[in-house]
Amino acid sequence: MQNIAKLIRFEPAFDDPEFVRAMFEHHAPYRTMAGYLPTTGRDTNIPWFRGNWATNGEPLVAGAEKILQNRRFIEAARVFFGGSAVRPTFIVVNVNAPMPAGRTHVDVPTFRGVTRDHYPLLFLVAMGGSGLFESWRVIQAGALTWFYDGPGGNFEYWPEGTNGPMSVERPPFGNVAIMADNDRIYHRIGRVGEPDAKLPRMTSAAEIRPAGRGAWEVVENGETRATYPSSAIRLSLLWKAIRESEAHSEVLTLDRVMSIFIADLRQRNIDFRIPNDPLSDTEWMALLDRTYTVPDFQKGERIKSGPGQVNVIDKTAGRDYFCEPPSGK
């Protein structure tokens, strides 16, 4: 399996970074991250917003085809995979206003035959956290790049695992990218803005959009809840690709996944009811979440962040805060 501690830093990321930066405004507005993850019920007032620019190798917005076929990303992914041919799969973007550090997490995994197209995020997270489906895991190379020069806004990650030291990429980011396996490396967005930045009054129904004259605004129910200069907004883009060979391997079915889960739950002596429709049964989803979401961590566990510092993570660490949501969400 690919060495998950391997990261490749490269620049420039784009031939025309200003074209990419302009796309963020052109394709606004963006929904809240909490809106993509309604089942968590957490962080509804955090000004973190998300948009999809490509999925399943197909561009969804004008200009995304240029990013999807970015030769620098493709070459870095080939290096990451040891020279294998790669297939770009999707692009997601994040727009962050001043906010506290995001949760420490890994991205939602993908498995052969079990993807975001037809399976709920929490189901995939449980599969990844269980460790029962590694033989079917699709290893993804992800290029992450940012536009932000303000205070905070770090990309923070634990390449040796959460018991090892935290590594940091700090702004100014400019035209830089990192290629990594964020499906298995724990990471987070560091605090964006000043430590005392006030959070807007908002819920998961809010959106962020350009307000003209180089500003962005958070809007909910027709009301402007906050306005920021563009210099205060952290723009990030995540591009992912898989090895071409992944498409020709054995695939999972829902019946196979359920039989593996059921056998493991019985071995753990956990009392449960087998659902008729496991992908929409909330009781079943809650059981998987309790049992498998980041099973090695307990709420409030302390992990190393750097000299003289610790980071506190909680049992939500396995939730996806970077990857594309499933279709229809």
**pLDDT at residue 245 above 90?**
no
Closest CA to 320 of 148, 98, 92: 92
Residue at token pair 């909490």? 34
- Rounded to an integer, the average pLDDT of 109-132 is 90
Question: At a CB cut-off of 8 Å and minimum separation 6, what does 175 contact?
Answer: 11, 12, 13, 14, 17, 145
What is the spatial distance between Cα 104 and Cα 158, in angstroms, rounded to a whole number?
A: 9
212 SS3 class = strand
Does position 321 have pLDDT exceeding 80, yes or no? no
CB 98 within 8 A of CB 189: no
Is the distance from CB of 134 to CB of 181 less than 8 angstroms? no
Would you place residue 159 in the very low, low, confident or very high pLDDT band (cuts 50, 70, 90)? confident
Which of 125, 139, 176, 140 minimizes the C-alpha distance to 155? 176
Three-class secondary structure of residue 164 per DSSP = coil
The pTM score is 0.80
Q: What is the pLDDT of residue 288?
A: 94
Query: How many Å apart are CA 291 and CA 304, to the nearest integer?
Result: 25
pLDDT tens-digit map of 32-79: 988 776 544 456 679 999 999 999 899 999 999 999 999 999 999 999
Residue-by-residue DSSP string for 70-106:
-HHHHHHHHHHTTS--EEEEEEEEEEE-SBPPPPPB-
Return the sign of the alpha-carbon dihedral for residues 214, 152, 156, 322: negative
94 vs 289, residue with greater confidence: 94
pLDDT in tens, 184-222: 888 899 999 999 999 999 999 999 999 988 899 999 999
Residues 33, 188 contacting (CB under 8 angstroms): no
Band of residue 104 on the pLDDT scale cut at 50, 70, 90: confident
Distance between CA atoms of residues 21 and 11, nearest Å? 16
